[in-house]
Amino acid sequence: MKNSSLIVYYSWIGSTEVVAKEIQRLTEFDIQRIEDKKQRKLGNIAGAAMGAFVGLRGVIIPMDFALKEYEHLFLGTPVWAGKTPPAINSYLKKTSFKN
């Protein structure tokens, strides 16, 4: 285990990515990005917010790391309509946080 902390983040337009990468630069924690399998269109902000509001889950690209190797997880996410975006909902549903 080279690092006991991991930053996992989702960023659609880049703001959350800027913050996640700055935290990574300052802490040297490992970092992984959650990515939508199909790229979202920037003009569909209302549709994206509605999907978050009703709790939809998106299709994300599988991530290649073993969460069990880390003691701490920092999750970076935008907030859409007061809710987590579909990509984060998928990540939380698919990920085992045991141990």
Instruction: Express each pLDDT in 31-68 by its tens digit.
Output: 999 998 887 766 667 777 777 777 778 889 998 888 88
Domain count across the chain: 1
Which tokens hold the place of 91? 């990540």
Share of the chain above pLDDT 70, in %: 91
75 belongs to a structural domain: yes
51 belongs to a structural domain: yes
Query: Is 64 exposed, middle or buried (CB count within 10 Å of its CB: 0-12, 13-18, 19+)?
Result: exposed
CATH code for the domain in which residue 70 is found:
3.40.50.360
99 belongs to a structural domain: no
| DSSP code for 2 | -
74 belongs to a structural domain: yes
63 belongs to a structural domain: yes
24 belongs to a structural domain: yes
Whole-model pTM?
0.84
